[in-house]
Chains A and B, each alone.
Chain A
């Protein structure tokens, strides 16, 4: 264990330095993302102003604002660029260099990405959670923050990140087939965004469709942790969805290993 940690520590370090180098870029990128949040805030504001009802599909306006803020945070925590990194390495052949090293291919990416985001996400988390809790407090007049729920949220986020990471590794191997990864990535992000509740809460979907979508791995990404944090799930439901996350995590981990084995056999690096 200790030996392993020592082995991967440089990857975490490299990830942190990478983020530090491009921090200005990162801040601007974040501001752009925040703008999208602002747009959805105003739209929901208009929706609740024109509907006449206080609650739509189980969400009050206050809960919707909390939902938007938490989606923003959760997206950052569980986001993974692994498909991009893997795809690029397959395309330009640097994957060969990784094959030479006595470390696990997946783990190097995992630790590098962990280093990439650990600082930024902790810095981001505090103000965003304060905003979410302030909104709840301002409108409902009661403090709704629960330490237990927050801890389960963190646990659920970790599971969600791992699902997303392994899913993205699998997707990255598509680079063996599709050359235009940018377009394929956009398609993936769009479909995943919708099915994971990042665009609209899944509670807004028609009942039959919703049942199916909630079982898919994508709902395990953003939706489950956010709903847990907001206290929308009962104890039994929480356990059920955490179990589902565990299932998908193992499934995609296995698939990524399998694809890795198949791909390495097929790998043929051009030039270099």
Chain B
């Protein structure tokens, strides 16, 4: 208990520090958020232009697709907001020898790296995601129950941890290779598949994004449960399970990596 309270206090201090830094560069903040907003807008424009030509995409209406798309942005945005620093491990921190700093501090290294920075650009994704869900949800005629509301909210942190877990495992590769930014990038790009109904892919792709790099569990399956109310054990349960497995794997690979880590001299 005392440990958790200490961790939370450290986290608060880091965030306060970050906010101070951000106030110094207000222009950057606006540029970053608008940048991510634009990216989402161009993807939506793409969907809208496609639907000008077809009534439904393999039985999915525009509203349903936009709902899944919006839902996918929420865990993605939360991970991006809080745990963006893992990209820096892959691109710079290890290569430049700056990782030594973390090893000398009296906190867990992974925890320290995760909470050290927040990336406010992510608000561009989060705002769009929440807005899309709010706009489409009333139009979809979803039947609500207490259980469904509870599961829908509960699944979001687990979906977020799927992102964080995958990033932790791939970022750790840098401990062996000095640079793993592109490895993170490659795996992270798989989340592009998750924005659309998994039903449009063939079996191979579907299995990969469900069981191997399970980004479909961050959006499509939970959204499917919200829309249809079917099969919560798989649609929600698998997300929770995948999050637990990936985070555990992330922690193990991270600590093995640190044992193999040799500081890069400069």
> Which chain B residues border A51 with CB–CB below 8 Å?
53-54
Contact of B231 with A by CB under 8 A:
no
Interface pair B25/A180, CB less than 8 Å apart: yes
Q: In the complex, what distance in Å separates the CA atom of A201 from the CA atom of B110? A: 44
Q: In the complex, what distance in Å separates the CA atom of A27 from the CA atom of B201? A: 24
Interface pair A180/B32, CB less than 8 Å apart: yes
Digitize B15-28: 1 where CB-to-A-CB distance is under 8 Å, 0 elsewhere.
Answer: 00000000001011
Contact of B244 with A by CB under 8 A:
no
> Which chain B residues border A187 with CB–CB below 8 Å?
31, 34-35, 38
Contact of B100 with A by CB under 8 A:
no
Interface pair A178/B27, CB less than 8 Å apart: yes
Interface pair B186/A29, CB less than 8 Å apart: yes
Contact of A93 with B by CB under 8 A:
no
Contact of B222 with A by CB under 8 A:
no
> Which chain A residues border B201 with CB–CB below 8 Å?
42
Q: In the complex, what distance in Å separates the CA atom of A53 from the CA atom of B54? A: 9
Q: In the complex, what distance in Å separates the CA atom of A191 from the CA atom of B39? A: 8
> Which chain B residues border A35 with CB–CB below 8 Å?
186, 189-190, 192-193
Digitize B164-202: 1 where CB-to-A-CB distance is under 8 Å, 0 elsewhere.
Answer: 000000000000010101110110111011001000111
Contact of B121 with A by CB under 8 A:
yes
Interface pair B27/A200, CB less than 8 Å apart: no
Contact of B50 with A by CB under 8 A:
yes
| Residue of chain A at shortest CB distance from B181 | A25
Q: How far is the CB of A74 from chain B (nearest CB, A)?
A: 18
Q: In the complex, what distance in Å separates the CA atom of A35 from the CA atom of B52? A: 26
Interface pair B182/A199, CB less than 8 Å apart: no
When the two chains form the complex, which single residue of A22, A28, A204 contacts B183, counting CB atoms closer than 8 Å? A28
Interface pair B56/A50, CB less than 8 Å apart: yes
Contact of B45 with A by CB under 8 A:
yes
| In the complex, chain B residues 28-54 whose Cβ is within 8 Å of any chain A Cβ | 28, 31-32, 34-36, 38-39, 42-43, 45-46, 49-50, 52-54
> Which chain A residues border B32 with CB–CB below 8 Å?
180, 182-183, 186
Q: A35-B189, A178-B31 are in contact. Are A199 and B25 (CB under 8 A)?
A: no
> Which chain B residues border A29 with CB–CB below 8 Å?
182, 185-186
Contact of B205 with A by CB under 8 A:
yes
> Which chain B residues border A180 with CB–CB below 8 Å?
25, 27-28, 31-32
> Which chain A residues border B146 with CB–CB below 8 Å?
none
Contact of A190 with B by CB under 8 A:
yes
> Which chain B residues border A199 with CB–CB below 8 Å?
42-43, 46
Q: How far is the CB of A231 from chain B (nearest CB, A)?
A: 23
> Which chain A residues border B53 with CB–CB below 8 Å?
47, 51, 53, 56-57, 204
Contact of B103 with A by CB under 8 A:
no
> Which chain A residues border B28 with CB–CB below 8 Å?
179-180, 183
| Residue of chain A at shortest CB distance from B194 | A39
Q: In the complex, what distance in Å separates the CA atom of A184 from the CA atom of B183? A: 24
Contact of A5 with B by CB under 8 A:
no
Q: In the complex, what distance in Å separates the CA atom of A259 from the CA atom of B138? A: 51
| In the complex, chain A residues 1-56 whose Cβ is within 8 Å of any chain B Cβ | 22, 24-29, 31-33, 35-36, 38-39, 42-43, 45-47, 49-51, 53, 56
Contact of B57 with A by CB under 8 A:
yes
| Residue of chain A at shortest CB distance from B121 | A183
> Which chain B residues border A27 with CB–CB below 8 Å?
182
Q: In the complex, what distance in Å separates the CA atom of A200 from the CA atom of B189? A: 19
Interface pair A39/B193, CB less than 8 Å apart: yes
Q: A49-B58, A50-B56 are in contact. Are A190 and B42 (CB under 8 A)?
A: yes
Q: When A and B form their complex, which 3 residue pairs have the shortest distance between CB atoms, in order from nearest?
A: A180-B28, A28-B182, A183-B32
Given contacts A190-B42, A204-B50, 13 further A-B contacts (CB under 8 A): A28-B183, A35-B193, A43-B196, A47-B53, A50-B59, A179-B27, A183-B32, A183-B35, A183-B121, A186-B39, A199-B42, A199-B43, A205-B49
